[in-house]
Amino acid sequence: MTRPFFSGVSRRDFLKTCMTATALMGLPLEAVRRVAEAAQSPGRPPVIWLHFQECTGCSESLLRSSHPTLASLILDLVSLDYQETLMAGSGEQAEKALEDSIKENRGKYILVVEGAIPTQNEGVYCKVGGKTALESLSRAAPGAAAIVSIGTCASYGGIQAADPNPTGAVGVSNVVNQKPIINIPGCPPSPYNFLSTILYIQTFKKMPVLDQLGRPMFAYGRRIHEHCERRPHFDAGRFAEKFGDDGHRQGFCLYKIGCKGPATFANCSVQRFNDTGTWPVSVGHPCIGCTEPDVVFKTSIFDKVQIHSLTPPDTYPAAVVEEKGKGADPLTTGVVGLVAGAALGAGAMLVKRLPKEVGDEKSD
């Protein structure tokens, strides 16, 4: 073997991670072998990783995960030619590495973009090595085999693009066209979604199936709400009404304190985070809808979201509708009849007493 297992990763951990990634792609168990082979293949795809308007949270969530396997897998899986957070070199030297990689691996490298691209005033709001984000991206994009936008900022503009968006920040797909773009939104996205996407391309040499927002269907095909552990509370109408109240302490549904789960497509409620099975909702914070361009940074975290695909609650209407009250009793009927009769009689008498013809009266 040219390379043993990844440095610092046991065979067991390696296979476990491959297994998780394969399951996440929705592939059968037999596919694990192919994925593991692809992960060990010596021909590592070159990756250029550009950072623009961002907080480096996406990189951080990848690197600082409690378990080292994931980060080492990703970093060993690819030949990371340029990554501002991780590379040893700096200044001219680093920029040269970028130029060289773009030239050398033309048409082969995967371009990973982290962060939004400012477009206002020719994009002066974000410069790396004296070049604006727009310039860097338009330099690197044409030679890329595929572009992966990691994080909500690179996918849709993210927090920079929130109203009033002073820098005119946009996502990669607004700047680059005619290139396959895979969006891995999230703030930060699950590192497994990124790993699975890279492994998918490695193993099958093609793009995963994407939804209309450019997200891989295997990770973003369903709403968080559909697999949420608090869902039974939603169906039963047991809600936390405000933070810290009795319902909140009891672990009731967070919808009424702003959970965006019913409108958010992502696999957080299945894959969880930090290799420990936690995620925001499990610790009592409502989902903020960070994978949805129309939800996060567009609506308040604590506003209730409109639910579009409504489902039945776990209450039931009665099989036989009870009759609405009892009918009028005889006494009431009699009294009402008498009054009505008297009124009718009085009316008739009144008519009799009226002058015979109106015309007569006038002529008098």
Partner 1 sequence: MKSQTRRGFLKCFGLAGTVLAVGRAGFASEGAINDNGVGLLYDATRCVGCKACVAACKRANDLPPEKGSFDPEGIWDAPADLDGKTRNIVKLYRESESVWSYVKVQCMHCMKPSCVSVCPVSAMQQDADGRVFYDKTRCIGCRMCMVACPFIVPRFQWEKPLPQIVKCDLCKFSEVPRKGKPACAGVCPTEAVQYGRRRQLLAEAKRRTETNPGRYRSYVYGEHEVGGTNVLYLASAAVPFDKLGLPNLPNEAPAAFSEKIQHRIYKGFMAPLALYATLFFVATLNRKKLSKGGEKEEER
Select the span of 47-55, 83-91, 109-117, 313-321 touching partner 1 (CB under 8 A). Answer: 313-321
Six token digits for residue 183? 């969006």
| Closest CB 291 distance from partner 1, rounded Å | 21
Q: Is 327 one of the binding residues for partner 1 (CB under 8 A)?
A: no
Q: List Cβ neighbours of 335 (8 Å cut-off, separation of 6 or more).
A: none
Q: Would you say 122 or 314 has its CB closer to partner 1?
A: 314
The binder of partner 1 chosen from 244, 313, 337, 341 (CB under 8 A): 313
Determine the Cα–Cα distance for residues 231 and 141; give it in Å rounded to an integer.
42
Long-range pairs of 200-203 with CB within 8 A, sequence gap ≥ 24: 200/25, 201/45, 201/110, 201/146, 202/38, 202/39, 202/41, 202/45, 202/77, 203/31, 203/34, 203/35, 203/37, 203/38
Stretch that binds partner 1, among 68-76, 108-116, 318-326, 345-353 (CB under 8 A): 318-326
Nearest Cα to 266, choosing from 235, 287, 297, 252?
287
Under the binding rule (CB under 8 A), the answer on residue 300 touching partner 1 is no
What whole-number distance in Å separates Cα of residue 177 and Cα of residue 245? Answer: 49
Closer residue to partner 1 (CB): 321 or 331: 321
Q: Considering only residues 28, 107, 317, 325, which one is a binding residue for partner 1 as defined by CB under 8 A?
A: 317
- Under the binding rule (CB under 8 A), the answer on residue 232 touching partner 1 is no
The amino acid at 195: L
Supply the minimum distance, in Å, between the C-beta of residue 231 and partner 1: 12
Which pair of structure tokens corresponds to residue 100? 């060289």
Stretch that binds partner 1, among 28-36, 207-215, 312-320, 328-336 (CB under 8 A): 312-320
322 contributes a contact to partner 1 by CB under 8 A? no
Q: Which residue has the tokens 């989902």?
A: 287
The residues that touch partner 1, with contacts defined as CB under 8 A, are 234, 237, 255, 304, 307, 310-321
